[in-house]
């Protein structure tokens, strides 16, 4: 990408050192704005909808968000070091073709989130202005995809501008909320309910963890000299503050109006706290929803290009990126237009499924990067269908499937409830099982990997990769 070009030229290919730019603090507004919107607020509704009270659901949101964001922020540090999008980095762990497993899961996530975002945006605009739902769903999708088409730099600028706006809006609403009165039952510390608490905790964790699949897409243009500590903390603080703040707004609104739908509850809560503020608050939150839809389309485009590259190696072009955006836009619109009215319940189920699918991947990807290979990869070999990482890497695939299988008895969804979850009264602790199982099995499997030879091969393969170095 050059400075005079409006449209980003790069996609899944390596970003040379000479093209690196930006400042590490720019990660804070990207992920603050990325989390401070209506879909995140909806995540805070989950526990109260199941019968939990305000005080315990607040604790669940804080703990869950802190936990999920921890893993997400570590993925962000991979971008400056490798100069590659997040998903393409899965090839060393799963193989050139084996990585298709996690990429297909990622595509489902992108499209699923955007379908939910479009439905939520339409519901909000219908509540506020009585707009036509079908037209609104399509319009939100088109706007998000158009911003994604322009690319990385414009996305960063939009997120920074939006962050300042949302900080002001959220601050005003928070100050107003401090003077609100809630029913005593909502503040009763003795009224602890296990299922709503764990459901809310892991819904928050899953929501934050789900950004892991593309978090380094927005750090890969940063200079390689950016430290791991700096990129971790700027990402963590942005995502944790934005995500937790937004979820808690949802939790408080649900506690005030437990029988209302999301948009109606938010508007009613804002108007009660600060008369006349309901509509401006929803509009501001809606802007964040549109930009996160942009991030999802951008990530979906890169992942779809990665899938295409696995089937037939390609040299990425702007036209190919535009085509993948059109495809993902069409799919998300079809899903959104056919969505049922049971939004809150389906969104909670979707978050639970995401947690199951990405828990093994995040464990394997991070332990490989920070413990096994310690960041030493070959960019050229990642794009080589017959290269050193193989077409199918049994280590990553076995660890993933074992980690996923270990969680099945702990699943707790409307579709399936495992025997352990039943014994726990429906509580879902699958993530606490899947993370260590996937990690341990992958580390054991990598004992047969000659790490020093792997490092030497990677260094030799990338000789002359970046002429500016």
* pTM (two decimals): 0.88
Cα dihedral 439→441→442→448 (10° resolution):
150
Q: N- to C-terminal Cα distance for the chain? A: 18
CA atoms of 135 and 143, how far apart (whole Å): 12
pLDDT bin (cut points 50, 70, 90) of residue 351 is: low
Predicted confidence (pLDDT) at residue 340 exceeds the cutoff of 70: no
Domains of the chain: 24-340 (1.10.4160.10)
Strand-pairing partners, residue 37, are none
Q: Is 29 helix (H, G, I), strand (E, B) or coil?
A: helix
Segment 185-244, tens digit of pLDDT: 888 888 898 888 988 998 899 889 888 888 999 999 999 999 999 999 999 999 999 999
Q: Is 23 exposed, middle or buried (0-12, 13-18, 19+ CB in 10 A)?
A: exposed
Q: What is the pLDDT of residue 74?
A: 93
Query: 124 or 434: whose pLDDT is higher?
Result: 434
- Which tens digit of pLDDT belongs to each residue from 60-95? 999 999 999 999 999 999 999 999 998 899 999 999
User: How confident is the model over 123-131, as a mean pLDDT?
Assistant: 83
Rounded to an integer, what distance in angstroms lies between the CA atom of residue 44 and that of residue 95?
A: 37
Measured CA to CA in angstroms, residue 32 lies from 43, 115, 128 at distances of 16, 21, 25
Distance between CA 230 and CA 221 in Å, rounded?
A: 15
Determine whether 395 is exposed, middle or buried from the number of CB atoms within 10 Å of its CB (0-12, 13-18, 19+).
buried
CB atoms within 10 A of CB 333: 21
Q: What percent of the chain has pLDDT over 90?
A: 51
Of the candidates 296, 239, 331, the one whose C-alpha atom is nearest the C-alpha of residue 32 is 239
Percent of the residues in the chain that have a pLDDT greater than 70, as a whole number: 96
pLDDT of residue 2: 43
Mean of pLDDT over the chain: 88
| More confident position, 273 or 27 | 27
pLDDT range class, residue 416, cuts 50, 70, 90: confident
Of 33-42, 226-235, 348-357, 453-462, the poorest mean pLDDT is in: 348-357
Closest CA to 144 of 265, 254, 39: 39
Whether the per-residue pLDDT at 346 is higher than 70: the answer is no
Residue 113 and residue 295 in contact, taking contact as beta carbons nearer than 8 Å: no
Contact 321, 298 (CB under 8 A): no
Q: Which residues pair with 412 in a beta bridge?
A: 417
Candidate from 263-277, 305-319, 362-376, 408-422 with smallest mean pLDDT:
263-277
User: What is residue 452's predicted lDDT score, i.e. its pLDDT?
Assistant: 95
Q: Output the DSSP codes for 92-124.
A: HHH-TTTTHHHHHHHHHHHHHHHHHHHHHHHHH
Is the pLDDT at 316 greater than 90? The verdict is: no
* 412 phi and psi angles, rounded to 5 deg: -145, 90
For residues 264 and 291, the model is more confident at 291
Distance from C-alpha of 204 to C-alpha of 207, rounded to nearest angstrom:
5
Please give the pLDDT value at position 210: 83
Answer whether residue 4 shows pLDDT above 70: no
Per-residue confidence (pLDDT) for residue 345, from 0 to 100: 60
326 pLDDT higher than 50: yes
pLDDT band, very low/low/confident/very high, at 108 (cuts 50, 70, 90): confident
């Amino acid at each position: 990408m050059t400075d005079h070009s409006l449209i980003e030229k790069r996609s899944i290919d390596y970003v040379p050192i000479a093209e690196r730019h930006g400042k590490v603090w720019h990660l804070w507004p990207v992920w603050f704005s990325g989390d401070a919107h209506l879909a995140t607020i909806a995540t805070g509704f989950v526990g109260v909808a199941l019968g939990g009270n305000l005080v315990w659901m607040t604790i669940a949101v804080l703990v869950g968000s802190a936990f999920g964001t921890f893993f997400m922020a570590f993925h962000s540090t991979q971008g400056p070091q490798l100069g590659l999008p997040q998903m393409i980095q899965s090839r060393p762990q799963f193989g050139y073709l084996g990585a298709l497993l996690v990429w297909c899961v990622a595509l489902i996530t992108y499209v699923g989130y955007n379908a939910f975002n479009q439905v939520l945006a339409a519901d909000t605009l219908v509540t506020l202005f009585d707009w036509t739902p079908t037209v609104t769903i399509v319009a939100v999708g088109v706007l998000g995809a158009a911003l994604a088409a322009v690319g990385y730099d414009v996305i960063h600028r939009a997120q920074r501008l939006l962050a300042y706006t949302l900080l002001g809006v959220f601050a005003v609403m928070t100050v107003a909320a401090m003077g609100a009165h809630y029913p005593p039952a909502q503040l009763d510390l003795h009224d602890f309910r296990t299922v709503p608490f764990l459901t809310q905790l892991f819904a928050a964790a899953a929501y934050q963890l789900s950004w892991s699949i593309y978090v380094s897409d927005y750090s890969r243009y940063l200079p390689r000299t950016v430290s791991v500590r700096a990129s971790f903390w700027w990402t963590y603080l942005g995502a944790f503050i934005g995500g937790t703040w937004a979820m808690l707004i949802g939790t408080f609104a649900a506690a005030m109006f437990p029988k209302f739908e999301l948009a109606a509850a938010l508007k009613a809560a804002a108007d009660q706290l600060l008369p006349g503020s309901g509509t401006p608050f929803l509009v501001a939150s809606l802007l964040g929803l549109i930009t996160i839809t942009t991030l999802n389309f951008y990530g979906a485009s890169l992942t779809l290009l990665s899938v295409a590259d696995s089937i037939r190696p390609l040299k990425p072009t702007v036209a190919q990126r535009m085509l993948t955006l059109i495809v993902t836009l069409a799919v998300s619109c079809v899903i959104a237009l056919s969505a049922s009215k049971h939004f809150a319940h389906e969104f909670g189920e979707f978050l639970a499924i995401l947690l199951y699918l990405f828990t093994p991947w995040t464990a394997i990807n991070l332990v490989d990067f920070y413990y096994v290979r310690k960041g030493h990869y070959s960019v050229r070999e990642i794009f080589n269908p017959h290269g050193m990482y193989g077409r199918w890497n049994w280590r990553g695939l076995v660890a993933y499937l074992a980690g996923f299988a270990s969680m099945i008895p702990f699943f707790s969804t409307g579709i399936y409830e495992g025997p352990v979850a039943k014994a726990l009264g429906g509580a879902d602790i699958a993530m606490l099982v899947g993370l260590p199982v996937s990690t341990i099995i992958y580390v054991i499997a990598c004992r047969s990997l000659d790490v020093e030879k792997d490092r030497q091969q990677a260094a030799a393969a990338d000789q002359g990769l970046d002429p500016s170095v």
